[in-house]
Amino acid sequence: MSALPSVLPSAARRPIRELPDELISQIAAGEVVERPASVVRELLDNALDAGARQVTVRLAAGGVRLISVEDDGHGLPRDELPLALRRHATSKIASLGELETVGTMGFRGEALAAINAIAELSLLSRAAGADSAFALDGRTGELRPVARATGTTVEVRELFFATPARRKFLKTDATELAHCVEAVRRHALARPEVGFAVWHEGKLVEQWRATTARDPRLADALGDDFLAQSVAVEHAAGPVRVAGRAGIPDAARSRGDQQFFYVNGRFVRDKVLAHAVRSAYEDVLHGQRQPVYALYLEIDPARVDVNVHPTKIEVRFRDGREVHQAVRHALENALAAPRAGDAVSVPAAPFFKPRSAPAAPAWTQPAMHFAAERGLGDAAAMWPGQRREPVVAPLSSFSTAAAQDPASAASPVQAPNTDESAAAHGGEAWPLGRALAQLQGIYILAENSHGLVIVDMHAAHERIVYERLKTQLDGAAIASQPLLIPATFAATPQEVATAEACAAVLPALGLEITPFSPRTLAVRAVPGALADGDPVELARGVLAELAQHDASTVVQRAQNELLSTMACHGAVRANRRLTIEEMNALLRQMEATERSDQCNHGRPTWRQLSVRELDGLFMRGR
């Protein structure tokens, strides 16, 4: 059997030499240009920086044979055309100060040079006010006059012809075309005032006409369903402003392929932003479903570093905590309003989804009075006439006065007279309607102006109890239980540093973690509700979370997980018979409770079935 060829480099020493400029540009191209879509992205950045109002992208063979990006921007003067193809030549920055406050899409000055090193590039441009246009051949450097209106056209042919090995890694033409179209879509979502068109093999593939508002562009690029199943986001906190639209939980997908986040108009993928979004959806999203959103963050350019990745798709914030909180609060506020006020149905399986974008109801909901039943281990019965059940763990361990009254979140409500209340509001019907009956001890059937409303009574009441507990215990520390024998473990330097830095935060989580030696930590107390678990694994998990995310976010998440469990046990159970008054009380409470459209686990609490859909089931009018 022959020996395998050695893959190790030769031990012979090779002298240090400067690399040729062409090889340097090809190395740079490997960082900047991954596929045809990378070229499209870079050329679109330049077109938008040039003030273009209409951009046309023409492709052949998915962009491998031809990429042509034509714009109507201010163009380039004749003497600057050769300079544009040189490495690190740019008009967008001239000093370190300008680099630290970049406000343009491009700034590195390497894209055109890198593309020219691996493809056949030609540059046609006419500057504003110039008598004629000129074309530059990137291979030969030949400059000749041509006919063209003001603006620039960049043609890239035979991508990767100089690096055939890279070409082998490309996918099919259809796949590469899809990536190119997605690159244009991302720019189109950021710049609604600019028109975009994509042609492939002489056929129009996509077109987004210029508009004066953001929502029409979102509907044009992402579909009308995106607007119908999303809520507006508008939030300002200090130097950070967040706007856009966030999909309702019912619109979540199995893949995160409709998540668009922009920082000062630049599409980015950032861990801080992604975690902030996920945190805002934690209470309303089921399982591993992925939210859909198009969000736009505006911040002082000096507070964000965009020069951290060759493709400019990653950023670094000066104050990540500030940005994280602003994004999370923006989404939480937008998602909090119950959508029962806009109960027009949208088809969904197995029932039907309510349309989002809720209008503020014209009526006001009188406060629901919960009877206060004092006690530590007991909570009041959920509904009149029912026996008492222990519904929550003892709350005396929470160091807050509100925690001493857990029954207030789970006591019977006094149902208002629905007819009198509706009459008092000009006869306007309640958004979730009037209760008709209870089905199988699980669902409440109600009638509103649109048709039939079906409510999962346990899921709905679970959310109501959960939101009230969160309000009552806001800012409370989680009760801890000291360990008889401290649990020690060998810690990494990062774990030790995190434990020391977060020493003031850990008690709020019910944890006491102290140094035992320079390389060992000791767990001396754990949350009372988790006393039976593994203290070392718990400590490691919390320290890892604290090392990555803001401490206040970790504390709030831990509290919410405990409260969610308590609310689940405290909610009204299936097969409990309710009177019509009790059903109506629950419906009115849902209309006044934040996030009442989903239970604590992200499942829907109600569905709307319109009269038209009911007619369809029975083929009426056919």
Q: Which long-range contacts (CB under 8 A, 24 or more apart) does 419-423 make?
A: 421/366, 421/588
Please state, in angstroms and rounded to a whole number, the distance separating the CA atoms of residues 198 and 207. 6
Residue type, 113: A
Summarize pLDDT for 314-323 with one digit per residue, the tens.
899 988 889 9
Please state, in angstroms and rounded to a whole number, the distance separating the CA atoms of residues 563 and 430. 29
pLDDT at residue 559, as a whole number: 67
* Residue 68 scores a pLDDT above 50: yes
**Do 612 and 413 form a contact (C-beta atoms < 8 A)?**
no
Please state, in angstroms and rounded to a whole number, the distance separating the CA atoms of residues 126 and 145. 10
* Residue 425 scores a pLDDT above 50: no
The predicted model gives 42-65 an average pLDDT of: 94
Q: Which residue has the higher pLDDT, 210 or 373?
A: 210
Please state, in angstroms and rounded to a whole number, the distance separating the CA atoms of residues 579 and 436. 10
CA angle 490/492/496 to nearest 5° reads 90
207-211, 500-504, 579-583: which has the highest mean pLDDT? 207-211
Contacts of 298 (CB under 8 A, 6+ apart): 240, 241, 242, 243, 264
Q: Which residue has the higher pLDDT, 502 or 298?
A: 298
Tell me the pLDDT band of 8, cut-offs 50, 70 and 90. low
Please state, in angstroms and rounded to a whole number, the distance separating the CA atoms of residues 128 and 113. 24
| φ, ψ dihedrals at 264, nearest 5° | 50, 40
Tell me the pLDDT band of 362, cut-offs 50, 70 and 90. very low
CA end-to-end span of the chain: 79
* Residue 499 scores a pLDDT above 60: yes
Please state, in angstroms and rounded to a whole number, the distance separating the CA atoms of residues 312 and 301. 14
The predicted model gives 38-55 an average pLDDT of: 93
Residue type, 11: A
Query: Which of 14-23, 41-50, 119-128, 334-343 is least confident?
Result: 334-343
pLDDT at residue 408, as a whole number: 42
Q: Which residue has the higher pLDDT, 275 or 337?
A: 275
Query: Which of 150-154, 293-297, 424-428, 437-441 is least confident?
Result: 424-428
Strand, coil or helix: what is 261?
strand
* Residue 196 scores a pLDDT above 90: yes
Strand, coil or helix: what is 325?
helix
Mean pLDDT (the chain, rounded): 79
pLDDT at residue 351, as a whole number: 35
Q: Which residue has the higher pLDDT, 299 or 351?
A: 299
**Do 460 and 382 form a contact (C-beta atoms < 8 A)?**
no
Please state, in angstroms and rounded to a whole number, the distance separating the CA atoms of residues 462 and 450. 26
The predicted model gives 544-573 an average pLDDT of: 69
